[in-house]
């Protein structure tokens, strides 16, 4: 370093000052610009009218520069220069000279705050896109999990939890709009004998085929679910007694004509019983409604099955079909 300093002291610095990319400025004790090399023109940029170092610095850097001046000794720090709409942080050195003057040097770190902001914004947008994709994937996964939790694994009909929620919603609509609501409870008459004689695999096939046939009997606004074992629930919004009997008879006939296909097994004809109850608007709970339909269903089965029973009022009424 000593030899380097000695060689520099013997040279005329003009060539070096014109070549170096380090900004070198001669300033007075107040920071006013006296002379500078070509590299400092880049620092000034559009601020060619600036008369002091302070005019080129950000508000946060001006106090640091004032401290450097007042110290009146060699000081080094980082200062932030304003280059139009950009900001650049520079490594700066202040050397006291004679006659109250200073040599100010700024070595560009070439960090553009605008570029950094653009980079940060792009990274943020990319992060947001990735987050949105993850959110979509998560919502899709949750929707699948939700669908699975509400779907009967054998028949792919809504399970007990789902169809009972649907029933409660329809009860609320019936109370609000005073629209009729009827439910059908359906039970396979000879299902226990099928399971006992042919095995549970055959019983599962019968349940699956019955579910498919029942699905063909409902409208778009109706709900059908498996509520347990060989029992199914129809929820029929805006349906009165007359229309519910039409649906129930259609269901009975559909199962009577159903062709059950089991490989290598002879199976007796499948028959069902149907219990019907119409909701008493504003006068009963979901459990009360289900209980009345269940009572009608048991009466149908006790009367030999393959029939429907209606429980619409405090007195039950039966219908053979």
Whether residue 111 is predicted with pLDDT greater than 50 in this model: the reply is: no
Mean pLDDT of the chain: 86
Residue 213: partners with Cβ closer than 8 Å, 6 or more residues away: 254, 255, 258
Cα angle 171, 254, 225 (rounded to 5 degrees) comes to: 35
Residue 86: partners with Cβ closer than 8 Å, 6 or more residues away: 112, 113, 114, 115
How far apart are alpha carbons 296 and 275 in whole angstroms? 5
pLDDT single digits (tens) 243-260:
999 999 999 999 999 988
Q: What is the dihedral of CA 116, 118, 124, 127, to 10 degrees?
A: -100
**Predicted pLDDT of residue 316:** 45
Reported CATH class of domain 160-319: alpha beta
Choice between 317 and 148, residue whose per-residue pLDDT is larger: 148
From 4-18, 143-157, 227-241, 302-316, the region with the lowest mean pLDDT: 4-18
Q: Select the highest-mean-pLDDT range: 10-24, 34-48, 289-303.
A: 289-303
Whether residue 264 is predicted with pLDDT greater than 80 in this model: the reply is: no
**Predicted pLDDT of residue 46:** 66
For residue 106, list its beta bridge partners: 23, 92
Quick one: average pLDDT of 132-148? 76
**Predicted pLDDT of residue 48:** 79
Model confidence at 14, pLDDT cuts 50, 70, 90, reads: confident
**Predicted pLDDT of residue 132:** 83
Global pTM reads: 0.57
Whether residue 314 is predicted with pLDDT greater than 50 in this model: the reply is: no
Question: By the 8 A CB rule, do 119 and 171 touch?
Answer: no
**Predicted pLDDT of residue 275:** 97
Reported CATH class of domain 2-113: alpha beta
**Predicted pLDDT of residue 269:** 86
Choice between 117 and 237, residue whose per-residue pLDDT is larger: 237
Whether residue 29 is predicted with pLDDT greater than 70 in this model: the reply is: yes
Residues found in the chain = 321
- Measured in whole angstroms, the distance separating CA 155 from the mean position of its chain's CA atoms is 29
How far apart are alpha carbons 281 and 174 in whole angstroms? 7
Structural domain spans, the chain: 2-113, 160-319
Choice between 112 and 39, residue whose per-residue pLDDT is larger: 39
**Predicted pLDDT of residue 10:** 67
pLDDT single digits (tens) 180-227:
999 999 999 989 988 888 888 889 999 999 999 999 999 999 999 999
């Amino acid at each position: 370093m000593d030899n380097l300093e000695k060689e520099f002291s013997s040279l005329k610095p003009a060539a070096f000052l014109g070549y170096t990319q380090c900004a070198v400025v001669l300033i007075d004790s107040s920071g006013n610009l006296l002379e500078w090399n070509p590299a400092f023109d880049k620092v000034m940029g559009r601020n060619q009218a600036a008369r002091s170092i302070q005019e080129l610095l950000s508000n946060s850097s001006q106090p640091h520069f004032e401290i450097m001046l007042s110290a009146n000794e060699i000081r080094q720090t980082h200062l932030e220069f304003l280059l139009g709409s950009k900001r650049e942080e520079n490594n700066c050195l202040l050397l006291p000279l004679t006659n109250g003057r200073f040599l100010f040097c700024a070595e560009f770190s070439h960090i553009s705050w605008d570029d950094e902001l653009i980079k940060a914004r792009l990274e943020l947008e990319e992060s947001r896109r990735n987050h949105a994709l993850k959110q979509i994937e998560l919502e899709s996964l949750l929707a699948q999990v939700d669908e699975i939790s509400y779907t009967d694994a054998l028949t792919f009909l809504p399970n007990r939890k789902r169809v009972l929620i649907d029933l409660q919603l329809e009860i609320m609509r019936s109370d609000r709009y005073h629209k009729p609501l009827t439910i059908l409870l359906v039970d396979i008459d000879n299902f226990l004998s099928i399971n006992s004689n042919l095995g549970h695999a055959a019983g599962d096939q019968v349940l699956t085929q019955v579910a498919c046939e029942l699905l063909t009997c409902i409208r778009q606004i109706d709900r059908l679910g498996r509520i347990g074992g060989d029992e199914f629930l129809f929820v029929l919004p805006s349906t009165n007694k007359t229309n519910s009997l039409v649906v129930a008879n259609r269901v009975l006939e559909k199962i009577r004509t159903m062709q059950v296909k089991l490989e290598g097994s002879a199976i007796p004809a499948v028959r069902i019983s149907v219990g019907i109850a119409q909701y008493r608007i504003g006068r009963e709970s979901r459990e009360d409604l289900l209980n009345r339909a269940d009572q009608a269903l048991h009466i149908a089965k006790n009367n030999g099955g393959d029939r429907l029973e209606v429980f619409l009022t405090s007195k039950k009424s039966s219908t053979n079909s």
